[in-house]
Amino acid sequence: MSLPAAPLPNAPLPTAPLPSAPLPSAPLPPQPLSPLDGRYRPAVEGLTAFLSEAGLNRARVHVEVEWLIDQTDRSFAGSAPLTEAQKAALRAVVADFGQKDIDELAVFEATTRHDVKAVEYYVRARLAELGLDGVAELTHFAATSEDINNLSYALTVKQALFEVWLPRFDGVVALFSSLASSEAATPMLSHTHGQPATPTTVGKEFAVYAYRLGRIRSQIATSEFLGKFSGATGTYSAHLAAAPDLDWPTVSRSFVEGLGLTWNPLTTQIESHDWQAELYSRVAHANRVLHNVATDIWTYISMGYITQIPVKGATGSSTMPHKINPIRFENAEANLEISSALFASLAETLVTSRMQRDLTDSSAQRNIGVAFGHSLLALDNIARGLAEISINSAAMAADLDGNWEVLAEAIQTVVRAEITAGRSSISDPYAMLKELTRGHRVGQAELVAFVEGLDIGDEAKARLVALTPGTYTGLAASLVQYL
């Protein structure tokens, strides 16, 4: 049987017929394309004040205003220092920034086709309204757009991190810490490689999560937020041409540090974004640990170790009424993956700029809020998920009682100690226990009889006979104190 001839290279490809009831193609009213601005908006609302386009523009206005005030405070170019009332009026422009200002900036940008130039014209308009035309030329003085942008991004990311993301993150870690404390002594069968293993406690496992996240939190909270203010190629060339007698690096440092940022003395046109790469890598690390937590809790739910509390009126499955799906943790997994991917992309992209400047960072940085948004949404889901679960200690106890063979580790270890102490003549305790327990279940009676027949001291024998899977948890309960 011969195969049909392949279509010629220039022949049109066959198209699938339209369904008999095609999807309507009429346009909808304007809708958000991102679920963060639609379905999930309430969970991420706090970020919009900082990491939206409007939040960035407000920060740009703030930097421009503070730079103008800084210059007049130094009576630069013969300017007179502004009065406290004039400074307050200028700063009120930033504090009261709202929809009217957003719309006005959009009008400016429609003409300038340049976002930072639009901000400059907006600030000049405010100066005119306040009767400060005499210092209008100090607006954006000797600054390149990136002098304004890098400081604005540093300020908005810093505020979003400390005022929105970290408090939500801390809330989730606190929930883990609370479970660690309340369930410190609740025994649970471990599953290394998915197989029954030396028991632990629920509290100790949640303490592990809290401890891991706490370490990363400390690294995130001590991140640097760098800024530069040194002109078109980081050389202060225009500054020096206008005022050759000024110590411009000192002026720049004072201004950047006055904004609450760390001064970067050596840059090209852009601040090199290394601090951003470092921060985003740390947040992505936190995301990945949280992803591990979400998959663990999902697994414990599937095993019956953790039960979900029914929410009145909620539907678990559209066809299976009995189900309560672990959607909070599944949703968290997906959003943590998206966030981590975006942060990884940002960390990789932002550290490279061709020679003194290219614009790859411009589009990339507009997604900082999206990366934080998906992480924040995941944190929200984890917190809500933890509020809707309970620990099924009865199921855990039953599983422990069905896996007495996990005591083989304890027995062979005690025998080794007895051999060393001269109280036993057993030659290979590991092989002996392997033969007894590997690949099949051993019950309590069988294990007790085995211990009673061992050639070991009476005290060691009594300790082993008294041991149960539920009590074989070592120091797990007390390890929670290290949180």
Which position among 302, 317, 362, 478 bears the catalytic label? 317
The phi and psi torsions of 281 (rounded to 5 degrees) equal: -65, -40
Query: Domain 402-482 class?
Result: mainly alpha
Query: Domain 147-311+322-393 class?
Result: mainly alpha
- pLDDT of 196 reads 94
Q: How far apart are CA 125 and CA 64, in angstroms?
A: 13
Give the CA diameter of the chain.
100
Residues 6+ apart with CB under 8 A from 115: 57, 60, 109
Domain positions in the chain are: 48-141, 147-311+322-393, 402-482
Catalytic: 193? yes
**Beta-strand pair 187-192/306-308:** unpaired
Residues 6+ apart with CB under 8 A from 299: none
**Beta-strand pair 226-227/262-263:** parallel
- pLDDT of 2 reads 53
- pLDDT of 206 reads 98
Q: Under CATH, which number does the domain 48-141 receive?
A: 1.10.275.10
Q: Could you tell me the pTM of the whole model?
A: 0.90
Catalytic: 317? yes
Residues of the chain with pLDDT under 70: 1-14, 16, 18-19, 311-323
| Residue 471, phi-psi category: left (phi > 0), alpha (psi -120 to 50), beta (remainder) | alpha
Q: How far apart are CA 66 and CA 62, in angstroms?
A: 6
| 306's tokens | 């953790």
Which position among 25, 193, 318, 425 bears the catalytic label? 193
- pLDDT of 441 reads 78
- pLDDT of 479 reads 97
